[in-house]
A and B are shown apart, each in its own frame.
Chain A
Amino acid sequence: MKKIEAIIKPFKLDELKGALHDLGVHGMTVSEVKGFGRQKGHKEIYRGAEYVVDFIPKVKVEIVINAGMVDKVIETIIESVKTGQIGDGKIFVIPVESICRIRTGEKNEDAI
């Protein structure tokens, strides 16, 4: 079992959701996050004074899947959110020790 955390551009979320659904991923957790990477934010002008927006709004998508699906899922994420511009985001793959579905008490693979 693996958890995939993908930091993506907010306007790509709907596309990604559709693609993952088609792949058979039936649940996800989404949060609005802010951050910066190598491009260090961007500049804006307010009434003549320039300022740097350090933290750019992003969306973090978390999904948990069977280990065998990891490559396919990563491929799908890249396919649906890549624009080729800076700020496209990153994907993290994290091992998951165990899972428990609260309502039924099902464990691990059954609870995905």
Chain B
Amino acid sequence: MKKIFLSITLLLLPTLAWGADELPTPVTNAEAINLVQAHANYLWTLVAACLVFFMQAGFAMVEAGFTRAKNAVNIMMKNLMDFSMGSIAFFAVGFGLMFGTSSTGFFGTSDFFLSGWTPDGDPWILAFWMFQCVFAATAATIVSGAMAERTKFTSYLIYSIFLCAVIYPIFGSWAWGSLFNGSGWLEKLGFIDFAGSTVVHSIGGWAALAGAIVLGPRLGKYGKKGEVRAIPGHNIPLAALGVFILWLGWFGFNPGSTTTADKSIAMIFVNTNLSAAAGSILAMVTSWIMFKKPDVGMSLNGALAGLVGITAGCANVSPISSIIIGAASGVLVVISVVIIDRMHIDDPVGAVSVHGICGAWGTLAAGLFNMGGTTMKIITTQLIGIGAAFAWSFGVAFILFKVIDLTVGLRVSKEEEMEGLDVGEHGANAYHDFQIRG
């Protein structure tokens, strides 16, 4: 009997407690509401980080598909290692340079080795680092495609560490530093680059251009009279799978850049998708007119061009503008691939056109199509950002590749290039039991 009485009392206790309080309102519950919002922000940011991470698989498949079977192992190793080495480099040095406190506006000087985090401190820095880390690795992996089929593996490793530790973070601090502890000169001018048309893609694209120039073209790419020869990729379905993976990953790349779980991500999703769709359609149409056939490689590049193009303006342009931006990217990428080829710069996957050129166009377009209207000042600021990215990334990467070339050597021997880098660099074969054609 005593027990039952005790139980009833215990059961009633919470009711009594509730009864004493007034009904909760958003104001009285602010703390709990903010906590839920904070948890949602963590969840969205980290889910988006997963999607952006998956883009590594996309880049690996695009690059492998557009190149020859004899180099596929090397391409997998480069893509695995630029992410792995890049992660450590961005942890140790890059994140601090990009998001640490900055008195100059040119680079950060704190938070190296994630020193801003303590076990009982705010773990937001970890979620934010994870999201920024996959971005840094994206910039690094862009270069891989342009330098495919002829770069020494060791030299590629040195480059990828340097890009994630220095080249990408320093420019990133100019445009995005204030997203954390930093403050950059470019963002103070009002530079618009929501998810990184310039910060990620142009930086990667211009470094890729420097790499392709310093390396020189693949053997047999240009004939004695200077004619452009085709070196067909060995697996177009794999390249197409890569593009679909990248398209999916971009739904983390652009909407995730809010790092906030709110309603704004819906429009960013729609803009991202429309621009990619318009890009692939217009690239197909352009190639159809130029080459008399709807070219698969160009159409795939067109989707990526549309995605890169909308990355800067995805949060501040309308869906209709997104279609225009993507369509222009699709035309631009085809013409640019042909022109770069005629300049005898050998970019097997079109990385310079997709990421460099369309990144620059997207950054300009973010100013031109701004929903709040555009001014000469906005356009000028966008142009300053585009120019600064080219000067910094192309300049530093060019010097870096030259130094690597003069010291460890940037390119494999002629014999190794002909036999394939899989055997020469890794002593392995991507497709055992299949005859690999030279």
Complex contact A49–B295 (CB within 8 A): no
A51 at interface, CB cutoff 8 A: yes
- Chain B residues contacting A46 (CB-CB under 8 Å) are 230-233, 297
B337–A48 touching, CB < 8 Å: yes
B300 smallest CB distance to A (angstroms): 10
Q: Which of B318-377 contact A (CB under 8 A)?
A: 334, 337-338, 341, 350
**Is residue A45 within 8 Å, beta carbon to beta carbon, of the partner chain?**
yes
Given contacts A45-B292, A47-B341, 19 further A-B contacts (CB under 8 A): A44-B230, A44-B232, A45-B230, A45-B291, A45-B293, A46-B230, A46-B232, A47-B230, A47-B295, A47-B298, A47-B337, A48-B287, A48-B290, A48-B295, A48-B341, A49-B229, A50-B230, A51-B230, A51-B232
Q: Would you call B228 an interface residue if the criterion is a C-beta within 8 Å of the partner chain's C-beta atoms? A: yes
| Chain A residues whose C-beta falls within 8 Å of the C-beta of B341 in the assembled complex | 47-49
Q: How far is the CA of A38 from the CA of B3 in the complex (A)?
A: 103
Which chain A residues have a beta carbon within 8 Å of chain B's beta carbons?
44-51
Residues of A within 8 A of B231 (CB): 46
Q: How many residues of B contact A (CB 8 A)?
A: 19
Evaluate contact between B350 and A47: CB separation under 8 angstroms: yes
A51 to B230, CA, bound (A): 6
The residues of B with any CB-CB pair to A shorter than 8 Å are 228-233, 287, 290-293, 295, 297-298, 334, 337-338, 341, 350
Q: Are A49 and B293 in contact (CB under 8 A)?
A: no
B378 to chain A, nearest CB (A): 35
Contacts of B297 in A (CB 8 A): 46-47
Instruction: Please report the C-alpha to C-alpha distance between residue A50 and residue B338 in the assembled complex, in whole angstroms.
Output: 12
| Chain A residues, Cβ within 8 Å of B337 | 47-48
Residue of B nearest to A48 (CB): B338
Contacts of B295 in A (CB 8 A): 45, 47-48
A44 to B233 Cα, complex, angstroms = 13
20 contacts between A and B (CB under 8 A): A44-B230, A45-B291, A45-B293, A45-B295, A46-B231, A47-B230, A47-B337, A47-B350, A48-B287, A48-B298, A48-B334, A48-B337, A48-B341, A49-B228, A49-B229, A49-B230, A49-B341, A50-B230, A51-B229, A51-B230
Closest Cβ of chain B to A50, distance in Å, is: 7
The complex places the Cα of A45 from the Cα of B290 at a distance, in Å, of 11
Closest 9 CB pairs of A and B: A46-B230, A49-B230, A51-B230, A46-B232, A47-B297, A49-B228, A48-B338, A45-B291, A48-B291
Whole-angstrom distance between the Cβ of B302 and the nearest chain A Cβ: 12
Specify the chain B residue showing the minimal Cβ separation from A50: B230
Interchain nearest-CB distance for A82 vs B (Å): 29
Question: How many angstroms from the CA of A48 to the CA of B295 in the assembled complex?
Answer: 8
Expressed in whole angstroms, the minimum distance between the Cβ of A30 and any Cβ of chain B is 17
A98 and B24 CA atoms in complex are apart in Å by: 101
Measured CA separation A51–B337 after assembly (Å): 17
| Distance A50 CA – B230 CA, assembled complex (angstroms) | 7
Q: Which of A45, A47, A50, A51 has the most CB of B within 10 A?
A: A47
